[in-house]
């Protein structure tokens, strides 16, 4: 049985994006405890775990077709959202191979890959693509290999080159980002591109994370969840078009808070690539409205507790300051203070109707 | 690609290359092997009648060859590893288990020119480099140093490597300094071979002012024995002895303890284990100076004890 794609939803103007009930329950809720603080929360990206979003190397869900169309819209407007430095061509092919082999193995009803030596044929049924090409020969594809395949994947991707005991962000496809710019960061080292993050530097998070990632092994990818909040289900919250979405933060009222405010979760995955020794960093974005979160009892109560105890520096960095109090006031009524199970799983298998 | 278990494979063929050198070809039991990095090595699990070996060997096959992997192994006299088992007992059709190919010896992405210096069987990682460098149109030289008896063997192995390859026997060989002199800025040197040779290459490059980041040494397989010591496992309370000819990791494995490992040469950090008490003799390439001084982590594959007893967090 294949995935039923919600082909017509949009992440701009009408904001017609919605999650099905199953889509709500498979959301990778990021809070395993009632308080949140930065940590090196990296774990092996093995299949399975507390969210169905962890079941495959690259998660595909009901928003796949709509997200690929949104990416195409962003790129048409700003081609600089996809950039790869010249020395990263082996990493481009590594990425294409990894994505094509993973998607065709994990979702055979939607994707297929056949090979005759270097002659490859790729079929993407949801997007209606049938492409024959020669692996290793960029001129046989309609665009460079990294752009070609990441146009057909959900979430952003960056390529990290490893040299001088450091990682450098030397490429990326970044159209669904939480307020950071590839065009600004490209070529930066690990500590440079994490420069703006508050508090975490002081507790050594980035030193430890870098040393860990330098040792990341092929075949043993890792993952972590990160989160922020977004007003309206807007994927493209980039610095480049801040005027389009920044003012939305001022529009939150007690009446519209449950529909306007979305928890934005990034399932971040890191894969060592073989030919290039680069690291592919996947930033898969999930959006869930507060109204849908409230349909899961545990998540509703826990989100209230996390927001109440969130350090102000983090709230400021994540851009929540203007509407945090409104949101907490809305969630307070639904939290009786009862103890919650540890972990991120929803603890229920069906949802109440939307309120 | 998520590879969370060993890959079942069988011996497809064994080629004798010389009195002490054999090439072992493996094929997967099903499907295809994962794409391996140039310079990658694999951990081969060999099940002998009395013990199990887990040995790391460089692949000599290029990344795009996925229907078969190959390694070349020298039979070491007085081998305590598995080389005699491979040479004397392994037969075509035998089953082995192969770990995911790991890369601790990658080709530098920004190098403008590559100098590869192999010593003896240390040539092996470069056999997977060469087709990749050629396909990328990269500028490179390969210098293979070996005994006079083996020049023929290595010339044959490099027959298809093309121009830029020199096999140096014992007489009238070029010094490392000569090889590294007058190379253009942006050149990187890679060396794999006996520890003394790699140190000499490194020293020659440093003396000529090469930047550290342009000098690359293959570093697995350098584990050597040392003074015997005793280990206590804090969690289980078990005690084991590590004799002078065995590494701590091997002693743990012999005792049936599932100890994590990958490169077995102190380079990858996978085997780093907490130390509760005792003084460590660090021999790895992973820990920072601070971590060494802290004395609370050690690489079980290469590091040993200065004190008579070590207490591990295992």
Where residue B278 sits, what CATH number does that domain have? 3.10.20.30
Q: Is the pLDDT of residue A124 over 90?
A: yes
Average pLDDT of the residues in B42-46 = 89
CB atoms within 10 A of CB B120: 18
Under a CB-based contact definition with an 8 Å cutoff, are residues B225 and B149 in contact? no
Residue A43 phi/psi, 5-degree rounding, is -135, 160
**Sheet of B113-119, strands arranged across:** B165-168, B139-145, B113-119, B187-192, B215-217
The predicted-structure confidence for A239-297, as pLDDT tens digits, reads as follows: 999 999 999 999 999 999 999 999 999 999 999 999 999 999 999 999 999 999 999 99
For residue A40, the model assigns a pLDDT of 67
pLDDT tier, B80 (very low <50, low <70, confident <90, very high otherwise): low
Place B121 in a pLDDT band, splitting at 50, 70 and 90: very high
Q: pLDDT confidence of B64, banded at 50, 70, 90?
A: very high
Contact between B35 and A217 using a beta-carbon 8 Å cutoff:
no
- Please indicate whether, in this complex, the C-beta atoms of A219 and B1 are within 8 angstroms of each other: yes
In-domain check, residue B103? no
Of A290, A293, A294, A346, nearest in space to A320 by CA: A290
Last residue of a domain, one of B217, B237, B253: B217
Q: Which of B80, B73, B36, B69 is nearest to B57 (CA)?
A: B73
Q: Domain check: are B183 and B239 in the same one?
A: no
CB-defined contacts A:B, below 8 A: 85
Q: Are residues B283 and B210 in the same domain?
A: no
Is the per-residue pLDDT at B312 higher than 50?
yes
The yes-or-no verdict on residue B220 having pLDDT over 70 is no
Chain B contact set for A46 (CB, 8 A): 2, 4
- The domain of B154 spans 113-217
pLDDT at B243: 85
Name the least confident of A300-304, B160-164, B180-184, B296-300. Answer: B160-164
Decide if A98 and B102 are in contact by the 8 Å CB cutoff. no
Higher pLDDT, B6 or A142: A142
- Both tokens of B129, joined, read 């480099």
The whole-chain average pLDDT of chain A stands at: 94
**Residue keyed to tokens 């082909």:** A7
Put simply, the answer to whether B1 touches A276 (Cβ < 8 Å) is: no
* Residue B79: predicted pLDDT: 64
Name the residue of chain A whose CA is nearest to B211's CA.
A164
Candidate from B106, B268, B270 with C-beta closest to A277: B106
Q: Looking at chain A, which residue has its C-alpha nearest residue B214?
A: A164
Among B174, B192, B217, residue at a domain's last position: B217
All residues of chain B having their beta carbon less than 8 Å from the beta carbon of residue A47 are 2, 4
Over the stretch B226-237, which tens digit does the pLDDT of each residue have?
Answer: 789 999 999 989
- Between CA A229 and CA B77 the distance in angstroms is 64
Q: Which residues of A are catalytic?
A: 224
What dihedral do alpha carbons A58, A59, A63, A65 form, nearest 10°?
Answer: 30
**B-chain residues near A220 (CB < 8 A):** 2-4, 100
A217 to chain B, closest Cα gap in Å: 6
The shortest CB-CB distance from A163 to any of B34, B63, B109 is to B109
Of chain B, the percentage scoring pLDDT greater than 70 comes to: 97
pLDDT for the residue B204: 98
Higher-confidence residue of B245 and A74: namely A74
Q: Does the structure show a pLDDT above 80 at B264? A: no
Q: Judge whether B105 lies within some domain.
A: no
CATH code, domain with B205: 3.40.50.80
Residue B224, in any domain of the structure: no
Residue A102 has pLDDT above 90, yes or no: yes
What is the spatial distance between Cα B48 and Cα A109, in angstroms, rounded to a whole number?
A: 43
More confident residue, B94 or B254: B94
Q: Is the pLDDT of residue B222 over 50?
A: no
Instruction: Write out chain B residues lying below 8 Å of A217, CB-based.
Output: 100, 102, 262, 268, 270
Identify the DSSP state of A189. Answer: B
pLDDT band, residue B81 (cuts 50/70/90): low
The total domain count for chain B is 3
How many Å apart are CA A248 and CA A242, to the nearest integer?
A: 10
Strand partners, B129: none
Query: Do B134 and B193 share a structural domain?
Result: yes
- Contacts of residue A92 in chain B, CB cutoff 8 Å? none
User: Of the residues B217, B240, B258, which one is the last residue of a structural domain?
Assistant: B217
Same domain? B53 vs B140: no
Q: Is A178 helix (H, G, I), strand (E, B) or coil?
A: strand
The answer to whether residue A23 scores a pLDDT higher than 90 is yes
Buried b (16+ CB within 10 A) or exposed e, B184-217: eeebbbbbbbeeebbebbbebbeeeebeeebbbb
Mean pLDDT of B205-223: 85
Interface residues of A toward B, Cβ cutoff 8 Å, are: 44-47, 57, 87-88, 90-91, 94, 97-98, 101-102, 118, 135-136, 161-164, 211, 215, 217-221, 271-272, 274-278
Q: What is the pLDDT of residue A95?
A: 98
Claim to verify: residue B207 and residue B240 sit in the same structural domain: no
Q: Which two tokens stand for residue A136?
A: 């290793």
pLDDT value at residue B179:
97
Residues B159 and B238 in one domain: no
Neighbours of A61 (CB within 10 A): 20
**Residue B50 burial by CB count (10 A; 0-12/13-18/19+): exposed, middle or buried?**
exposed
Residue A353 has pLDDT above 80, yes or no: no
């Amino acid at each position: 049985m294949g995935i039923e794609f919600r082909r017509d939803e949009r992440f701009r103007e009408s904001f017609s994006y919605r999650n099905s009930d199953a889509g709500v329950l498979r959301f990778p809720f990021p809070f395993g405890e009632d308080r949140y603080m930065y940590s090196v929360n990296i774990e092996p990206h093995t299949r399975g775990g507390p969210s169905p979003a962890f079941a495959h190397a690259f998660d595909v869900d009901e928003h796949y077709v709509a997200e690929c169309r949104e990416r195409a819209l962003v790129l048409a407007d700003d081609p600089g959202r996809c950039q790869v430095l010249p020395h990263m061509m082996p990493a481009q092919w590594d990425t294409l191979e990894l994505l094509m082999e993973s998607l065709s193995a994990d979702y055979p009803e939607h994707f297929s890959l056949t090979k005759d030596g270097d002659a490859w044929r790729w079929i993407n049924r949801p997007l209606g693509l049938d492409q024959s090409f020669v692996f290793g020969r960029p001129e046989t594809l309609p665009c460079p290999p990294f752009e070609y395949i990441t146009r057909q994947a959900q979430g952003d991707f960056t390529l990290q080159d490893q040299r001088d005991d450091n990682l450098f962000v030397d490429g990326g496809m970044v159209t669904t980002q939480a307020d950071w710019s590839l065009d600004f960061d490209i070529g930066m080292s690990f500590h440079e591109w994490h420069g703006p993050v508050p508090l975490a530097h002081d507790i050594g998070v980035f030193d430890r994370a870098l040393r860990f990632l330098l040792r990341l092994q092929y075949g043993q990818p890792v993952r972590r969840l990160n989160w922020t909040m977004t007003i309206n289900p807007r994927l493209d919250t980039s610095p480049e078009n801040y005027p389009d979405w920044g003012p939305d933060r001022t529009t939150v009222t007690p009446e519209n808070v449950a529909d306007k405010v979305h928890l934005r979760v990034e399932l971040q995955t890191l894969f060592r690539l073989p030919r290039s020794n680069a690291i592919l960093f996947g930033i898969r974005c999930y959006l869930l409205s507060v109204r849908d979160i409230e349909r899961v009892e545990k998540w509703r109560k826990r989100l209230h507790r996390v927001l109440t105890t969130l350090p102000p520096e983090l709230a400021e960095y994540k851009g929540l300051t203007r509407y945090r109090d409104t949101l907490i006031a809305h969630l307070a009524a639904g939290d009786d203070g009862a103890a919650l199970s540890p972990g991120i799983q929803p603890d229920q298998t069906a949802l109440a109707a939307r309120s | 690609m998520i590879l969370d278990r060993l890959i079942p494979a069988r011996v497809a063929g064994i080629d004798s290359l010389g009195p002490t050198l054999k090439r072992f070809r493996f094929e997967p039991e099903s499907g295809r092997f994962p794409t391996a990095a140039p310079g990658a090595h694999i951990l081969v699990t060999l099940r002998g009648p009395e013990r199990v070996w887990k040995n790391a060997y460089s692949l000599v096959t290029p990344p795009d060859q996925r229907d078969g992997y190959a390694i070349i192994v020298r039979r070491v006299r007085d081998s305590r590893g598995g080389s005699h088992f491979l040479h004397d007992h392994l037969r075509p059709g035998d089953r082995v288990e192969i770990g995911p190919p790991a890369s601790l010896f990658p080709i530098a992405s920004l190098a403008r020119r590559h100098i590869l210096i192999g010593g003896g069987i240390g040539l092996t990682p470069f056999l997977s480099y060469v087709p990749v460098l050629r396909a990328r149109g990269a500028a490179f030289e390969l210098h293979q140093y070996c005994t006079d008896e083996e020049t023929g063997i290595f010339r044959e192995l490099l027959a298809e490597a093309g121009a830029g390859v020199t096999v140096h026997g014992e007489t009238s060989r070029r010094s490392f300094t000569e090889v590294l002199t007058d190379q253009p800025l942006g050149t990187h040197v890679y060396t794999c071979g006996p520890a003394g040779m790699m140190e000499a290459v490194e020293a020659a490059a440093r003396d000529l002012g090469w930047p550290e980041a342009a000098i690359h040494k293959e570093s697995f397989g350098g584990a050597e024995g040392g003074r015997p010591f005793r280990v206590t496992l804090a969690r289980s309370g078990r005690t084991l002895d590590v004799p002078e000819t065995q590494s701590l990791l091997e002693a743990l494995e012999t005792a049936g303890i599932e100890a994590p490992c990958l490169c077995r040469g102190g380079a990858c950090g996978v085997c780093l284990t907490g130390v509760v008490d005792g003084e460590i003799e660090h021999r790895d390439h992973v820990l920072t100076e601070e971590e060494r001084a802290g004395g609370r982590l050690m690489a079980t594959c290469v590091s040993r004890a200065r004190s008579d007893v070590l207490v591990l967090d295992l």
